[in-house]
Amino acid sequence: MLALDPPTDLQQKIATRAARVGRWVSRYGLVVILAWFGAGKYVKMDSRVLIQQSPLMSWLYDLMDFKTVAVLLGTMEIVAAVLLAVRPLWPRISALGSLLSIVLFLGTLSFLFTTPGVFHSFSHGLPVLSAQPGQFLMKDVVLMGVSIWTLGDALGGDLGTAGPARAPERVDEADEVARATA
């Protein structure tokens, strides 16, 4: 089979199923991560050092104590998770969860640039990420991508266009001529 040959029925079935499973794992994996991290903020504050170093977020500690900031962030993460999870019932409401998760991950990703110790050293001129906090924060690039995808999926679902991407139908010249003369 050449790379340009059309997919077989089996390949098409596998592709459709893989896309469906991938969408489900992406959305509900994000839900689990947000809910778990959010719940964790109620029992311990794991991002205090990150927030204290951030010029974008450190001002929160001028207004609230550490525990209040933790509970606020945890609540936002749990709300985002719940909103993302309702996609099959209410796509537009789910889109709000996607937007909230995007905002949360933008905040987290900003720590890559404001937290000391993100880069451990340099090798051949390239920065090497430390395990903590560098690699821990870097995973949020993927989570941000999933959040952006869930936004598009939720808005597309509301418009009736959700589902696997489909190639545009090919229109031959003969088809166009037939339509024009009909």
pLDDT in 10s for each residue of the chain, 182 residues:
566 788 889 999 999 999 999 999 999 999 999 999 999 989 886 677 788 888 888 888 899 988 899 999 999 999 999 999 999 999 999 999 999 999 999 998 888 888 887 887 788 888 888 877 878 888 999 999 999 999 999 999 644 444 444 433 444 555 554 555 55
Question: Which sign does the torsion angle of CA 84, 86, 88, 94 carry?
Answer: negative
| Residue 4 φ/ψ, nearest 5 degrees | -90, -5
Residues 108, 137 contacting (CB under 8 angstroms): yes
Residues 116, 53 contacting (CB under 8 angstroms): yes
Residue 174 maps to a domain = no
Report CA-CA distances (Å) from 31 to 98, 104, 165, 171: 10, 13, 23, 41
Residue 24 maps to a domain = yes
Residue 116 maps to a domain = no
**149 burial via Cβ count (<10 Å: 0-12, 13-18, 19+):** middle
Residue 16 maps to a domain = yes
Helix (H, G, I), strand (E, B) or coil at 44: coil
Residue 70 maps to a domain = yes
Report CA-CA distances (Å) from 8 to 4, 100, 139, 167: 12, 40, 36, 15
Domain containing 95 equals 9-110+139-162
The type of residue at 92 is R
pLDDT value of position 144: 95
pTM: 0.76
Residue 85 maps to a domain = yes
Residue 4 maps to a domain = no
- Give the number of domains in the chain: 1
Query: Which stretch of DSSP H or E encloses residue 128?
Result: strand 126-129
Closest CA to 119 of 104, 111, 129: 129
| Cis upstream peptide for 133 (omega within 30°) | yes
pLDDT value of position 119: 80
pLDDT value of position 165: 41
* Structure tokens belonging to residue 77: 């993460």
| Residue 170 φ/ψ, nearest 5 degrees | -85, 130
pLDDT value of position 168: 39
Residue 122 maps to a domain = no
